[in-house]
């Protein structure tokens, strides 16, 4: 059975090729099994492309040199080289590959290689990006799904060592296929939605209450921002660090920048505490902000739960302002954690973006922020910086505990029928950092794809006309440029500005309206529609046309 590249990522253990940190090593026990892929490009005779299967069959990473050599001369051709000065792989799309020697030659033997997955800098058409690849002999081996998402290349594995490439086909994410094959089903909760319209594009276990780790800090941010609105705080307000904050800073869950700089009684600005809480996810900063708002962490937590109830976040339960595990005071302690459903997190984020987008993304859209009141030269470093580089996301928050798994809430602007709106992805309960980033990226890419296709339909217009005869009025229109599934015809009896009611849905380019009264004028409008992943999307209306019945 043929396996589309997009489906390769479904049932296999995730070995993400995206880099979201300073470095990655291969998992313990990774077996980098050599594969000499026979690759046919656009139906031509196959050539050899060296590849590795990382531990699992079809978890395939291909030689970039071999692959670029194979597609040279096509519309998707690209040059690929290592730039020593920039310490980066430089990719120039639309340029023929410059051979360095040894391309498209098979591995000598099939013994596994001991190499590591490493975070590497890429400069693609002048844009800095970052992915994780396996490196050997001056070459980079990139995962097939990355080739699709980054370069828009459609590949098709028909066997372990056979692959075809169609450079004319656009890479497309089939969200229904992903869902049916369990790509998201093992997560604790998933939502992809439009924060401006409330539309949910995809969800899995969205109403299941689950632990949310440091994504809790988005609720903390809301209460801090509301305190700023109320005049209780400002970004310049200095917060004196308490014993509780220092205890948090000295714990194993602290962030080194703050552990190394925080001192009892030190005064730190609200601005710097927010930067520390939102970018490196410093728990000690969240505690300090909670005390600044409510006087104590306990009082702040009561405020968090009350505010969640006011916002309709019925699944939300908070025990602290940061999301770490919390123990009660009984002799047999309960290990408690902040919890919420993915649907409620989407609701919270939508509220934040509606009311405080500028203020929030001032912090979360940056890869680092200077925090001088924390310490000389201190910086708050973003935990999801690579998503900013690779996709242009504007936030928002990561979080991890043993119970919650790896969580991430991401936001990216999209165009929807001429308006810029916010697409929000919520991932709760990924197995590790790599999985949460890959699946977040997959959702966001799908959302971008959906709106690109939707916009194409929305921008199409219908040109309609009407002609009366004794047997009735025929309404006709020209086929629109977009790939349309069908058309809807509406009629008004009170004028062009009157109420139009649908009279027929059809796949034809004309309809006969027999239900007319001689001498009476009727008004008609037509629009096309298309189903995109189960959602009905419409073209623009035709201009209303008037016709007196015979």
User: Would the pLDDT of 28 be above 70?
Assistant: no
253-278, pLDDT tens digit by residue?
888 899 999 999 999 999 999 999 99
Q: What is the pLDDT of residue 13?
A: 35
Q: What is the pLDDT of residue 47?
A: 97
Q: In Å, how far are 50, 236, 516 from 490, measured between CA atoms?
A: 58, 58, 14
Architecture of domain 464-548: Sandwich (2.60)
User: Would the pLDDT of 204 be above 80?
Assistant: yes
User: Would the pLDDT of 209 be above 70?
Assistant: yes
**Omega before 328 cis (within 30°)?**
no
Q: What is the pLDDT of residue 59?
A: 85
User: Would the pLDDT of 1 be above 50?
Assistant: no
Q: What is the pLDDT of residue 68?
A: 97
Q: What is the pLDDT of residue 8?
A: 40
User: Would the pLDDT of 227 be above 50?
Assistant: yes
62-121, pLDDT tens digit by residue?
999 999 999 999 999 999 999 999 999 999 999 999 999 999 999 988 777 778 888 899
Instruction: State what percent of residues in the chain have pLDDT above 90.
Output: 78
Question: Do you know the residue count of the chain?
Answer: 550
User: Would the pLDDT of 31 be above 80?
Assistant: no
- Identify whether the C-beta of residue 357 lies closer than 8 Å to the C-beta of residue 422: yes
Q: Give CA torsion, residues 60, 63, 67, 68, to 10 deg.
A: 140
Q: What is the pLDDT of residue 22?
A: 36
Element (H, E) at 159: strand 153-159
Q: What is the pLDDT of residue 130?
A: 87
Return residue ranges of the chain for CATH 3.40.710.10. 189-322+335-456
Q: What is the pLDDT of residue 113?
A: 78
484-508, pLDDT tens digit by residue?
999 999 999 999 999 999 999 999 9
Q: What is the pLDDT of residue 131?
A: 87
472-485, pLDDT tens digit by residue?
999 999 999 878 99
Tokens linked to 470? 């004794």
Question: CA neighbours within 13 Å on the CB side: how many for 205?
Answer: 17
Select 189-322+335-456's CATH number: 1.10.240.10, 1.20.1260.10, 3.40.710.10, 3.40.50.720. Answer: 3.40.710.10
Instruction: State what percent of residues in the chain have pLDDT above 70.
Output: 94
Q: Give CA torsion, residues 123, 127, 130, 131, to 10 deg.
A: -70
419-450, pLDDT tens digit by residue?
999 999 999 999 988 789 889 999 999 999 99
Residue 435 CA to residue 7 CA, distance in Å, equals: 15
User: Would the pLDDT of 4 be above 80?
Assistant: no
Q: What is the pLDDT of residue 39?
A: 96
For tokens 């009629």, the residue is 491
Q: What is the pLDDT of residue 27?
A: 40
Return residue ranges of the chain for CATH 2.60.40.10. 464-548
Gyration radius from the chain CA atoms = 28
User: Would the pLDDT of 17 be above 70?
Assistant: no
Tokens linked to 179? 């869902």
Residue 473 CA to residue 516 CA, distance in Å, equals: 8
Q: What is the pLDDT of residue 147?
A: 86
- Identify whether the C-beta of residue 188 lies closer than 8 Å to the C-beta of residue 321: no
Where does the pLDDT of residue 414 fall: very low under 50, low under 70, confident under 90, or very high at 90 and above?
A: very high
């Amino acid at each position: 059975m043929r396996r589309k590249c997009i489906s390769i990522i479904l049932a296999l253990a995730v070995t993400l090729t995206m880099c979201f940190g300073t470095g990655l090593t291969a998992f313990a026990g990774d077996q980098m099994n050599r594969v000499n892929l026979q690759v046919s490009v656009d139906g031509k005779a196959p050539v050899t492309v060296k590849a590795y299967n990382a531990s699992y069959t079809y978890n395939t990473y291909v030689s970039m040199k071999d692959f670029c050599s194979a597609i040279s001369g096509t519309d998707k051709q690209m040059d690929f080289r290592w730039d020593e000065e920039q310490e980066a792989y430089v990719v120039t799309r639309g340029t023929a590959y410059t051979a360095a020697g040894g391309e498209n030659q098979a591995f000598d033997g099939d013994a596994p290689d001991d190499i590591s997955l490493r975070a590497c800098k890429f400069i693609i058409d002048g844009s800095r990006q970052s992915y994780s690849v396996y490196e050997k002999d001056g070459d980079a081996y990139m995962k097939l799904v990355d080739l699709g998402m980054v370069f828009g290349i459609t590949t098709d594995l028909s066997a372990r060592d056979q692959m075809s490439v169609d450079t004319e086909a656009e890479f497309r994410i089939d969200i229904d296929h992903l869902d049916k094959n369990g790509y998201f089903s093992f997560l604790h909760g998933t939502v992809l939605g439009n924060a401006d319209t409330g539309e949910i594009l995809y969800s899995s276990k969205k109403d299941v209450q689950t632990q949310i780790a440091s994504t809790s800090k988005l609720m903390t941010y809301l209460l801090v921002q509301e305190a700023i609105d109320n005049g209780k705080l400002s970004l310049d307000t200095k917060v004196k660090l308490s014993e509780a904050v220092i205890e948090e800073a000295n714990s194993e869950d602290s962030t080194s920048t703050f552990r190394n700089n925080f001192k009892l009684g030190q005064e730190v600005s609200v601005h710097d505490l927010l930067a520390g809480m939102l970018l490196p996810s410093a728990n000690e900063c969240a505690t300090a902000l909670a005390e600044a708002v409510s006087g104590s962490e306990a009082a702040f937590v009561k405020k968090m739960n009350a505010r969640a109830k006011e916002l309709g976040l019925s699944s939300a339960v908070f025990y602290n302002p940061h999301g770490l595990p919390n123990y009660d005071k009984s002799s047999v302690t309960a290990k408690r954690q902040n919890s919420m459903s993915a649907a409620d997190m989407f609701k919270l984020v939508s509220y934040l973006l509606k009311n405080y987008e500028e203020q929030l993304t001032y912090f979360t859209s940056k890869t680092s922020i200077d925090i001088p009141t924390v310490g000389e030269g201190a910086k708050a470093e973003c935990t999801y910086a690579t998503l900013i580089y690779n996709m242009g996301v504007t936030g928002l928050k990561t979080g991890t505990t043993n119970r919650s798994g790896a969580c991430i809430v991401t936001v990216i602007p999209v165009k929807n029928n001429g308006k810029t709106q916010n697409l929000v992805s919520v991932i709760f309960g990924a197995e590790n950092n790599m999985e949460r980033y890959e699946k977040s990226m997959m959702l966001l890419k799908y959302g971008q794809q959906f709106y690109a296709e939707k916009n194409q339909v929305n921008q199409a217009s219908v040109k309609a006309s009407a002609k009366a005869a004794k047997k009735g009025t025929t309404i006709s229109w020209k086929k629109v440029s977009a790939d349309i599934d069908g058309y809807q015809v509406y009629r008004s009896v009170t004028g062009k500005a009157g109420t139009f009611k649908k009279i027929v849905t059809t796949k034809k380019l004309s309809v006969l309206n027999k239900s007319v009264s001689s001498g009476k004028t009727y008004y008609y409008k037509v629009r096309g529609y298309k189903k995109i992943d189960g959602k009905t999307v419409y073209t623009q209306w035709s201009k209303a046309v008037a016709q007196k019945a015979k």
